[in-house]
Amino acid sequence: MSNILSPSILSADFWKLGEQIKELEAAGVQWVHIDVMDGLFVPSISYGMPVIASIRKGTDLFFDVHLMIEKPERYIKEFVESGADLINFHLEATDAVEETIAQIRSYGKKVGITIKPNTPAEAVEPYLELVDMVLVMTVEPGFGGQKLIPSCVDKVPVIRRMITEKGLNVDIEVDGGINTENVSAALEAGANVIVAGSAVFKDDIRKNVEGFYSEMGYC
Ligand code: DX5
Ligand code: ZN
């Protein structure tokens, strides 16, 4: 299972969004993490379908969309049409988990289920056979630039064990407060997809990506 860096454009400079996405490409990045917030599931509001559709026109990067919205089942079609390749939604945001997974699958897209810091690792177990990814939040969702909560990383080996015991091939993504100092601990815990917002977009994007790659075992 390969390690992937998924830079979160929440920390980008939106005046230069296209330019900064090109900088990610030039640095060898393959995924981009897109945080959608509705002001209900989380306190803040970020961006939605029109922004995703607009950047879809300019890049072939893999779009890892993280929905922080209530009742995500209402909008799956729209996010697929905007260009999502993978849709992560929160277990805490819906009573229709299986229906939402099935909807995403019906469009041939990858599915991720996401848990907040206070949701136990065991909550994902019933769905592991149905998904491509589990996203473990390592901060309270809602804002970039927060400090990682170490106890959240402790859930990663528990989930990795469940996946291995079931003989499945499911990615584990971690999101929130990840930097070049703590990324190796997240990988050792069993995560293989790393989200980083402020640690990638602060100052020199290329240098920051290189810093992650050397910690993640890339040349
Ligand atoms: C937070 C978002 C994150 C955020 C990460 O709710 O889900 O993806 O952009 O930003 P950093 O890496 O700065 O914590
Ligand atoms: Zn995110």
CATH number for position 91: 3.20.20.70
Q: Is the pLDDT of residue 155 over 90?
A: yes
Tokens describing residue 29: 């990045």
The count of domains in the chain is 1
35 is catalytic: yes
Mean pLDDT over residues 166-188, rounded?
A: 98
CA of 89 to the centre of ligand 2 (A): 10
In one-letter notation, the amino acid at residue 202 is K
Atom of ligand 1 nearest to the CA of 142: 6
44 three-state secondary structure: coil
Is the pLDDT at 92 greater than 60, yes or no?
yes
Instruction: Write the pLDDT tens digit of every residue in 101-128.
Output: 999 999 999 999 999 999 999 999 999 9
What is the band of 2 on the pLDDT scale with cuts at 50, 70, 90? Answer: confident
Tell me, in angstroms, the distance from the centre of ligand 2 to residue 15's CA. Answer: 20
CB 179, CB 147: distance < 8 Å: no
Cα–Cα distance, 19 to 162 (Å, whole number): 41
**Whether residue 175 lies in the annotated active site:** yes
- pTM recorded for the entire structure: 0.98
- The protein residues having their C-beta less than 5 angstroms from ligand 2 (an ion) are 35, 66, 175
Taking a C-beta distance cutoff of 8 angstroms, is the pair 100, 119 a contact? no
Rg of the chain taking only CA atoms, in angstroms: 16
* Cα–ligand 1 centroid distance for 98 (angstroms): 26
Q: Two tokens at 170? A: 């499911």
For residues 130-155, average pLDDT: 98
Question: Ligand 1, from 153, 179, 195, 209: best to mutate by most atoms within 8 Å of Cβ?
Answer: 195
- Picking from 150, 111, 115, the residue whose alpha carbon sits closest to that of residue 136 is 115
Question: Looking at the predicted structure, is the pLDDT value of residue 154 above 80?
Answer: yes
User: What's the mean per-residue pLDDT of the chain?
Assistant: 97
pLDDT in the model for residue 219: 52
Taking 90 as the threshold, does the pLDDT of residue 217 lie above it?
no
pLDDT(98) > 90: yes
Residue 218 has pLDDT above 90, yes or no: no
Domain that holds residue 108: 4-215
